[in-house]
Amino acid sequence: MSVFTHIDKNIIENVMGSMEFKAFLLSRRWFGDKFLLSNLEFKITLDYFNIIAERIYLTIIKISKPDYEKRYFLPLIYYKNLNNILDLSEKNNKNIVNLTKNTFSKKIALTIEREPEILTLNLIEAEYCLYFWKNLLFEKEISEKFPKLSLKLALYTEQFQDEINMRKAQALIEASIYKERYEAELEQLGKGNTTNLLFKLTLVNKKQKNIETFNYVLKSYKEYRESLEPTTLQVLNKNQFFNAPKIYGTIKINNKESVGILEYISNKGNVGDIYWNELNSMIKNTFSDLGTDFSKLEDKEELSKIIKQYFKESLQISEEIGNYITNLHNALILPDQENYSLETVESDFYLKNYTHKLNLMISDLQHLMQQESKNIFYNLTKIQAVFLDAKDVLEKFRSEFEKENIEIQPVHQDLHMEQILYNKSDTQFNFYFMDFEGDPELSLEERKQRFPTDKDIASYLRSLSYIKFNTLLLFIEKNIIEKDEYVVPEEILYSLFFRKGFREKRKGLDAILTFLNKWERKIMNKILKNLNANITLINFFTIERILHEVLYEILFRPRKFLVPLLGLKEVIDNN
């Protein structure tokens, strides 16, 4: 009898209750609230559990502690030998190393046919394996059991109207009926730096003489809650907006989207890569010797010459992206669809409520940070002062706003540069907007709300600040810190902003920071040139965005906390 048959819900739930499994969860990129849960004093229970095929456990886990509760979609595969669950296309060293990194292992004791046995339980996140997707999407015996398993496949047939997408939909259906006709390949997207898992599925029709291929994006919605993305993509499709993917279908567990099947859009990368690569190339070539006299960068003509030399594509994108963002906002309006209409509101009332909300966010952040030791970085007096000043600046923005009314509408909510893919033909760019789930830090009701379009513009501009400070941190790590020094780059960056006299000692670093600020302003002005935006509202929503980023970094990547904090300090200093 197979060992697998003895591994049931109780064993899986017991394993999940172990400290080792909790630590494994904390290492997952998609697992939130790391700051709150870092002491591992939380409970894991199974809200949903089904074995859909040999070795595949379909689970919804509930994370709970007093005054806290969150659920995640976590399908798992048990294996004894990794090669036994892999397709031929997956059996390469790089992939096996990656899969091993995403495996949790623990020795457990079982009684099999009255004999005690110790075995190593290897559990891998199922989405990384074709074995999972083939069974979930193409195994007829499993799909026929969907109703009994509280699973539902929803198809969005209106997305298949043109011939190309109809052919892609047909290929998905054929692959489940005539499995021998198709080979499948799987590739992770987003470099693993996403809070939902994304994979490119390639189906190759072996019967076609020209070896016809079809590509799709498989999206695993890790946080178990209702998703806005399917409806939003349908609205964009109805408005014939061709710069976002179509959605072909979803798989729901107990009526909540857990898997999305989307159009794959061929691309050269995301927009942020262009800004990042050109900026780092310039920094590497210009600031290789920190003993150089950089006073020439204060000359406007010299600065303009350098920017034109190194930032050709960044400048072009900045000129063109405004029209695409405007078209996106127009396509998000569909008056007869609930939550997708345009509305005019009285500005004083709207901004008073919003200011109150942001002030509460600041207070909550301060309380969250104070839960840690008084010696921790978050609680330094100069750090806390930034948040106090933010409240004053918010009130300044609110009181200085002159328009009587504000237009609000559905917006993207999380429009940073990595959400925009690009293609380029000769000198012509084309952009595609991704990920329409709304702001991940907002509740469902908040994500359903409408906002001024300036909220998206603020999000996009915030990417420049992240690129700027991460470039500086990378430079510090590679060029400033000696190999035998026990210092992290963030310590030096903190000193650059908060310790008197430090800039005078580090003139080379100060010169880089001065250039980076000029670069950011130049790019920002190019972007805003082709957008109908209100600077006061952009500043207002920039602070909101930063507060969400601060919370995100505390919960997901505590070491990166300084990056949005310095962005907040700069907004305050400039106003």
Distance of CA 447 to the CA centre of its chain: 16
Closest CA to 329 of 526, 532, 159: 532
Q: Could you say which residues of the chain have pLDDT below 70? A: 1-6, 111-115, 192, 209, 372-379, 483-485
Residue 330's SS3 state is helix
User: How many CA atoms, within 13 angstroms, populate the side-chain half-sphere of residue 438?
Assistant: 21
What local confidence, expressed as pLDDT, does residue 479 receive?
84
**Which pair of structure tokens corresponds to residue 167?**
């052919």
β-bridge pairing 76-79 and 56-65: antiparallel
Residue 269's SS3 state is strand
Number of neighbours of residue 558 by Cβ within 10 angstroms = 15
Rg (CA), the chain: 26
Q: What is the pLDDT of residues 523-539, one digit of tens each?
A: 999 999 989 899 999 99
Closest CA to 547 of 517, 524, 567: 567
Helix axes 454-479, 562-574, angle to 10 degrees: 120
**Which pair of structure tokens corresponds to residue 306?**
């350098």
**Secondary element (H or E) of residue 259:** strand 256-263
The three-point CA angle 81-86-88 to 5° equals 125
User: Which residues are registered as beta bridge partners of 249?
Assistant: 155, 261
**Which pair of structure tokens corresponds to residue 515?**
């250039």
CATH fourth-level superfamily of 271-574 = Aminoglycoside phosphotransferase (APH), C-terminal lobe (3.90.1200.10)
Measured distance CA(397)–CA(330) in Å, rounded: 27
Taking the domains of the chain in order of start, what are their residue ranges? 3-126, 130-263, 271-574
What local confidence, expressed as pLDDT, does residue 2 receive?
57
User: Which residues are registered as beta bridge partners of 405?
Assistant: 346
**Which is it for the CA torsion 60, 61, 64, 69, positive or negative?**
negative
CATH pick for 130-263 out of 3.40.50, 2.40.30, 3.40.630, 3.30.200: 3.30.200
Q: What is the pLDDT of residues 267-292, one digit of tens each?
A: 999 999 999 999 999 999 988 887 78
Query: Which pTM value belongs to this model?
Result: 0.89
What local confidence, expressed as pLDDT, does residue 4 receive?
59
What local confidence, expressed as pLDDT, does residue 157 receive?
81
Q: Are 31 and 71 in contact (CB under 8 A)?
A: no
User: Which residues are registered as beta bridge partners of 367?
Assistant: none
Q: Which amino acid is at 307?
A: I
